[in-house]
Copies of this chain bind each other. A is one copy, B any other.
Amino acid sequence: MTPLVHSFIAHFGEMGSRWGINRTVGQIYALIFVSPQPLCADEIAETLSYSRSNVSMGLKELQSWRLVRMKHKAGDRREYFDAPSDAWEIFRTLAEERRRREMEPTLSMLRSALLESPTSEEDRVAQERMRGMHDLIELMSTWFDDVQRLDAPTLAKLMRMGSRVQKLLELTGQLKSGSKE
């Protein structure tokens, strides 16, 4: 393995825990991501010096995140894996999975908590704060969903505009209020 690839893989191993995956999974992903061609489990285990079973688990997890795709070669029973290389696609997938795993459970907990009628002042305050949290998470969740539908170039254009969209917003605001008057 070249030093360049090695440092990339090592970094993904180290960052893994911050990203909610473990070292192995991070490194397997990094390796697949930079490889010119799909890899099979044995090649991965060999390259990273992990046990075959560990690699098997790691691949399962990466598939559950939809970060790698299984491929088959004609006349070869082994499963090969590669990773989408389009960064926007990766971002979309990651956003969607995080929403599902990190936001949805909380959203449903909050929803049911907000159905209860508060029986004390303490509960009333608590519920009020939960409502604030719920509304924001729901808004972000819908927004994610919504933005996912945009194609990559539009999304990129939008992001590059950054806070300048505010100008645009002000403009439309004026148009609207102008048309009302």
Contact B162 A113, beta carbon cutoff 8 Å: no
Give the number of times this chain occurs in the complex, counting copies.
Answer: 2
Closest to A127 in B: B4
The answer to the question of A119 belonging to the interface, with a C-beta cut-off of 8 Å to chain B, is: yes
Contact A129 B34, beta carbon cutoff 8 Å: yes
- Count residues on chain A whose CB falls below 8 Å from chain B CBs: 65
What 1/0 mask marks residues of chain A from 13 to 35 whose CB sits below 8 Å from any chain B CB?
Answer: 00101111000000000000111
Supposing A106-B11, A132-B87 touch, asked if A4 and B113 sit within 8 A by C-beta, the answer is: yes
Question: Which residues of the other chain, B, contact A105 by a CB distance below 8 angstroms?
Answer: 11, 15
Residues of A within 8 A of B (CB): 2, 4-5, 7-8, 11, 15, 17-20, 33-36, 85-88, 90-91, 101-102, 105-106, 109, 113, 116, 118-123, 125-127, 129-130, 132-133, 135-136, 139-140, 142-143, 145-147, 149-150, 154, 156-160, 162-163, 165-166, 168-169, 172
